[in-house]
A and B are shown apart, each in its own frame.
Chain A
Amino acid sequence: MRFLAGVATVACLFGGGAAYAQTVPGWMSKVSIHGYASQAYAVSEDHPIFGIPTDGTAEYRDLALQFRYDANRRNAVVVQFRHERFGLRRTEDDVQLAWAFYQRNVSDRLSLKAGRIPLPLGIFNEAAGAATTSPFFQPAQEFYDLHYTSRTVDGVMGSASLGRPGPGAWSFDVDAYFGRWALDQWDLEQRADARGAWGAQVWANTPWPGVRIGGGAYRCKVDPTDAYGYGEDYDYAALHASIDADLDRWRLATEVFTGNLGEEYGRYRTWYGQVGFDVTPKLSVHARGTLARVETPGSGHHARVSDDLGLAVNYAVHPSLLFKVEGHTNEGLLRDDLPRNLYAEPTKTRYWIASVVASF
């Protein structure tokens, strides 16, 4: 499998940016294939974090391959496979089905989806691995933390576009969904079933090209019975808001997320701010600060989960082929070599990631 991953990486690197949709006869002309490969070397100085060991690892990568079949203007089927390796972190199967859904375009402005659908949450959740969209190897992991949210929803989703499309006017993209997903749990292999999930997200595209403002919310019922044996479901509600500005030379992004898991499990809050500047058309520098906290009203405890400050330099050989070098300082409770404990003292480390990403 390592060989296959390597082949896919090389294929992406050499194919990135040079792949044209070929004109082919028959049904093949309705199929489009896209993919990305992000391969890194990562090392942490003081303790393992985000799967990065202190002796370094090149087992740090994320690849995806997507097949899309547009039967006609009204009907499409989309399937994406994913291969992930994040060093010491628990690994899934070599290749997973990331998501797969059927899409019905009711009109140019309204579509319906059914299946395993990317969850519309913030700037990066739906395309979290597509690293050419993020100047760092990964978007802020505290914000897109799978203990508190999901990449996908198994269910149905309706999407609508409102307002006049194109620059110079306000327009709105609205998604509403219903279904279920699973959440990771601290220190437990079992994932908690999140049932009856429903939520929505709205993006307001401003008249200024590249500037948009978004927000959303969801509710679900989480069933931790298998893991804890408590036998009681609890309601979980989350809110999130985003500002995303991709300007001529500046890129700004900030997002806030709050998830209320009730009296017993507390409230998770995270925020990050990210700014980037294009020094030249190929060279850019970026900074990101992230905070994550858990407050448990039952005990009155406030846990400093993570304070992360990162700096990155990107070199874009082509918009679809990027080299990135980044350094972070982190203080918090996210170390990988000890059991997760909200009552532990936060510890510090610095970690470094050098990566190359290609997409086609």
Chain B
Amino acid sequence: MLSQLVLATAIFLAADALRPQTAVAFRVIAHPSVQPSSLSRAQLSAIFMRRTRSWADGTEVRPVEPPSRAKVREEFSHAVHGKSVAYVTRYWHRVIFAGRGVPPEELPSDAAVLEYVRTHRGAIGYIHGATPWGEGVKPLTVTP
């Protein structure tokens, strides 16, 4: 019985170690004023495609992203939008040059994303999963 329990625990831990590839690949962070502590992938996608522009309390959503060449951008894009960065870039070119909107602001590093999110009410961004986020930002859980 004990051996079966150890085996089951080992399998669970191994599965868990494999599973978080997307969970640790990027970390979604928000300004502490942002009320939700978790967002679904669809909600996140709508925020970063700028189809959701307000939080539930009416505060403006201010999304920011790492540069398009950053690896975390590709991982976020696949995990959240289900699409490549190239697709998202084409989408934004179509939106921009139709005069329909502009993409989230691009910042040059995780440190810049953290600083922006820390200092702007309603801000939301994402950083590499291994980057420590420190004080003044709120990590959000991403649900399927």
Contact = CB atoms under 8 A, between A and B. Distances in A.
Interface of A: 17, 20-21, 23, 32, 34, 36, 64, 66, 68, 70, 73, 78, 80, 99, 101, 103, 105, 108, 117-118, 120, 126-127, 129-130, 132-133, 159, 161, 164-169, 209-210, 246, 248, 281, 316, 318-320, 359
A103 B54 CA distance: 18
Interface stretch (B5-13, B28-36, B84-92): B84-92
Given A132-B93, A133-B90, A133-B93, A167 B99 contact: no
Contact of B107 (A20, A32, A161, A167): A20
A321 to B, nearest CB: 10
The listed residue with most A CB atoms (<10 A of its CB), out of B54, B67, B98, is B98
Contacts of B85: 319
B111 interface: no
19 contacts: A20-B105, A32-B102, A66-B97, A73-B53, A108-B53, A126-B94, A127-B98, A130-B93, A130-B94, A130-B97, A133-B90, A133-B94, A133-B97, A168-B42, A209-B82, A246-B83, A246-B90, A319-B68, A320-B68
B96 interface: yes
Interface of B: 40-46, 49, 51-54, 60, 67-69, 81-87, 89-91, 93-100, 102, 105-108, 116
B43 A132 contact: no
Contacts of B69: 17, 318
Given A78-B99, A99-B99, A167-B81, 9 more contacts: A17-B68, A20-B67, A108-B52, A117-B99, A166-B44, A167-B42, A209-B83, A319-B89, A359-B97
A118 B45 contact: no
Given A166-B46, A246-B87, A127 B97 contact: yes
Contacts of B93: 36, 127, 130, 132-133, 320, 359
B53 A129 contact: no
B51 A165 contact: yes
Contacts of B94: 126-127, 130, 133
Contacts of B89: 132, 319-320
A319 B90 CA distance: 7
Contact of B90 (A103, A132, A165): A132
A138 to B, nearest CB: 14
Given A167-B42, A167-B45, A210-B87, A129 B102 contact: no
B86 A166 contact: no
B54 to A, nearest CB: 6
A316 B86 CA distance: 9
Contacts of A281: 84, 86
A68 B101 CA distance: 9
A101 B98 CA distance: 11
Given A132-B93, A319-B90, A166 B99 contact: no
Contact of B106 (A21, A120, A161): A21
Contacts of A165: 42, 45-46, 49, 51-52
Contacts of A320: 68, 89, 93
A167 B52 contact: no
A166 B45 contact: yes
A23 B106 CA distance: 10
B61 to A, nearest CB: 9
A107 to B, nearest CB: 9
Contacts of A359: 93, 97
B99 A164 contact: no
A159 B99 CA distance: 13
B59 to A, nearest CB: 10
A349 B106 CA distance: 45
Nearest to B95: A127
A166 B51 contact: yes
A161 B85 CA distance: 24
Contact of A167 (B82, B90, B91): B82
Contacts of B82: 167, 209
Contacts of B44: 166
